[in-house]
């Protein structure tokens, strides 16, 4: 997605997609609060100088939700936070005319909703 957003000229989206990849790898190795806050700080530090309009805030907000989710949450709560980030990405992709991005994020949202439903069924013992 990083290259896709670079080709669209969407620097904040490209930076957040790349940072999200690094964050996902890091969160698989540690759940350190310092690392989590470091990723959030870097996300905002990289994005602010590249924001040309309010639409460019959406990937940063999405990255913030995702970072909180992967470092601090589990189960349905993790997926709810990831879904909030996905909605930000979906809106961003629609507004910057990224058809592929809209399709990818729509699929993520559907899969996340399905997983939350299954987890809620497991929690109920059904």
Write the pLDDT tens digit of every residue in 38-67: 999 999 999 899 888 999 999 999 999 999
Reported as a pLDDT band with limits 50, 70 and 90, residue 10 is very high
Reported as a pLDDT band with limits 50, 70 and 90, residue 82 is very high
User: By three-state DSSP, how is residue 82 classified?
Assistant: helix
- Residues in contact with 79: Cβ distance below 8 Å, sequence separation at least 6, in sequence order: 69, 112, 115, 116, 119
d(CA 93, CA 49): 20
CB burial string 15-46: b at 16+ within 10 A, e below: bbbbbbeebeebbeeeeeeebbeebbebbeeb
- Closest by CA to 48, choosing from 28, 63, 35, is 63
* pLDDT recorded at residue 125: 74
pLDDT per residue as tens digits for the range 84-124: 999 999 999 999 999 999 999 999 999 999 999 999 999 88
Reported as a pLDDT band with limits 50, 70 and 90, residue 126 is low
* Segments forming the whole domain that contains residue 84: 2-124
Reported as a pLDDT band with limits 50, 70 and 90, residue 13 is very high
- Residues in contact with 121: Cβ distance below 8 Å, sequence separation at least 6, in sequence order: none
Alpha carbon of residue 2 to chain centroid: 13
Mean pLDDT of 66-72: 98
The number of distinct structural domains making up the chain is: 1
């Amino acid at each position: 997605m990083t290259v896709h957003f670079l080709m669209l000229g969407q620097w904040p989206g490209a930076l957040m997609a790349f940072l999200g990849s690094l964050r996902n790898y890091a969160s698989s190795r540690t759940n350190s609060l310092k690392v989590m806050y470091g990723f959030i700080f870097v996300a905002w530090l990289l994005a602010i100088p590249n924001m040309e309009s309010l639409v460019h805030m959406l990937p940063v907000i999405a990255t913030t939700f995702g970072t909180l989710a992967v470092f601090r949450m589990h189960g349905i709560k993790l997926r709810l936070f990831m879904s909030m980030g996905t909605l930000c990405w979906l809106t961003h992709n629609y507004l910057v005319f990224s058809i592929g991005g809209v399709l990818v994020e729509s699929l993520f949202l559907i899969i996340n909703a399905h997983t939350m439903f299954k987890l809620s069924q497991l929690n109920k013992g059904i």
